[in-house]
Amino acid sequence: MSFDRSIKIAPSILAADFANFGAECAAVEAQGADWIHVDVMDGHFVPNITFGPATCAAIRPHIKGVMDVHLMIAPVDSYIEDFAKAGADVLTAHVEAGPHIHRTLQAIRANGMRPGVALNPGTPAESVAELLDMVDLICVMTVNPGFGGQKFIDMSAKIKALRTMIGDREIHIEIDGGVDPKTAPLVAQAGADVLVAGSAVFRGGSVQDPAPYRDNIRAIREAAKGVYV
């Protein structure tokens, strides 16, 4: 996993066919996805339940590139080893998930994964100021986590503040929630490089008819690059 700040589109399989994750991951990758974003929810940190490490392990062989696992769970630490064994490349925990995010990020790195830290919309950029030398990714939530298909919340000022704080450190800024061709330019201009999109990627397509995935991914990427701005 080499570092660059080019725009990367990371489809969230929260919007895919839950009975067909392996084929869905392969389909979106074949249609141009850069990373695959995997949303793990526990019904405790967020009000929804998805799946855990066993599902991640099952889909891993169907992903050629980066498996980007977003943990919306609390506590986190007792599951880190399981997600490493499941083959996560990036493992992101929420700064709000517990009192010891620093320890959590150390443990993610110690287990051979790239640590990410996520911030809810109500959490300020400054909350990660002491964590910048231990993360490879900062995920700025542009919805309150728990569900796909929600309305985008503009976090441009926070993204810009983080971009300034990061300086020349090799840290990705990822945006998660409500990303589509209309909102992508805002977040890209503010300094984001990884754009997670669920509904806006999977809309209109299927494993049997994956061409819409290509069009949807391209529309978000081109909008982020400024072509349609």
Catalytic residues, by residue number, are 39, 176
Cα-flanking dihedrals φ and ψ of residue 164, to 5°? -65, -45
Count of C-beta atoms within a 10 Å radius of residue 208: 8
- Options 155, 200, 217, 219; binder of ligand DX5; rule CB under 6 A: 200
Does 212 interact with ligand DX5 (rule: CB under 6 A)?
A: no
Name the CA radius of gyration of the chain, rounded.
Answer: 16
The CB-side HSE value for 136 (13 A sphere, CA atoms) comes to: 16
Residue pair 122/141 in contact (Cβ under 8 Å)? The answer is no
User: Is residue 178 at the binding interface for ligand DX5, with CB under 6 A as the rule?
Assistant: yes
Region binding Zn ion by CB under 5 A among candidate stretches 44-52, 79-87, 120-128, 172-180: 172-180
- CA geometry: angle 5, 95, 153, nearest 5 deg: 65
The entry of Zn ion, ligand DX5, none that residue 104 binds, CB within 5 to 8 Å by partner kind = none
Interface with ligand DX5: number of residues (CB under 6 A): 22
104 binds ligand DX5 (CB under 6 A): no
Question: In terms of Cα–Cα distance, which of 62, 68, 58 is closest to 9?
Answer: 68
In this structure, are residues 220 and 180 in contact, taking their beta carbons and an 8 Å threshold? yes
Q: How far is CA 7 from the centre of its chain?
A: 13
- Binding-site partner at residue 112 among ligand DX5, Zn ion, none, CB < 5 to 8 Å by type: none
Under the criterion CB under 5 A, does residue 163 sit at the interface with Zn ion? no
Q: Judged by CB under 6 A, does residue 70 bind ligand DX5?
A: yes
Residue 155 or 211 with smaller CB distance to Zn ion: 155
> Interface with ligand DX5 by CB under 6 A: which residues?
12, 14-15, 37, 39, 70, 143, 145-150, 176-179, 196-200
> Interface with Zn ion by CB under 5 A: which residues?
39, 70, 176
